[in-house]
Amino acid sequence: MTTHAVHAAIPRTEARTRTQAIARQDEIVTSLTGRRTLAALRYATGFIFLWAFLDKLLGLGFSTPFERAWINGGTPAQGFLNSPAVTGPLQPWFQSMASPLADVLFMAGMLAIGVAVMSGIGLRVAAVAGSLVMLLMYLAEWPFAWGAASTNPLVDYHIVYALALIVIAVLHAGDTWGLGAMWKKLPLVQRFRWLV
């Protein structure tokens, strides 16, 4: 390669790097107010999942009475899956999943998603898992039927929560008021970028 060719390649490489940096910058909210707003959204969304775990574990009396708490032998997932709230054509499939294992997986999922989102670590995994849980709960309640509990058959709170999780993950909301920036520097996370 000639000297001229080497010098010609450097600006192209720099331009490509600059273009990639600009494209990457477009994915991230840079204003302090925007970052703090995303952090507040992250805390609120994470607390929704953490609260669901705590209320079902301890029976705090909001959606779960103390007598039906998991620590008192309650069945959080089975209780929902076998309730009148689960309707529509997928009802038999959802009810077939009702088991003690479903209770353990549901509770572990609520705790893991809540802690991950509130701390700002593993937001991609938490967004995928949380969105999947929300989609399944949305379909279980089958909001498309007349007289369903949902007041909007297309966009109810399950969809909004899933979208909030996706926004939080895509915009790296864990970096502000969270452990996200520190988490991303770990060698394991550097090696497996999907853990970000």
- Report domain extents, the chain: 1-29, 31-195
Per-residue confidence at 3, pLDDT binned at 50, 70, 90? very low
Alpha-carbon Rg for the chain in angstroms: 22
| pLDDT of 36 higher than 70 | yes
**Confidence band of 153 (pLDDT split at 50, 70, 90):** confident
DSSP 53-93: HHHHHHT-SSSS-GGG-GGGT--HHHHHHTSTT--STTHHH
Q: What is the pTM of this model?
A: 0.84
Q: Which residue has the higher pLDDT, 102 or 28?
A: 102
Reported as a pLDDT band with limits 50, 70 and 90, residue 146 is confident
So what's the pLDDT on residue 29?
Answer: 83
Per the listing, tokens 């949380």 go with 130
For position 150, what pLDDT does the model report? 72
Give the pLDDT confidence of 177-196 residue by residue, as tens digits. 999 999 999 999 999 999 99
Return the pLDDT at 186. 96
The answer to whether 167 and 40 have CB atoms below 8 angstroms apart is: no
Terminal CA-to-CA distance of the chain, rounded, Å? 39
Q: Largest alpha-carbon pair distance within the chain?
A: 80
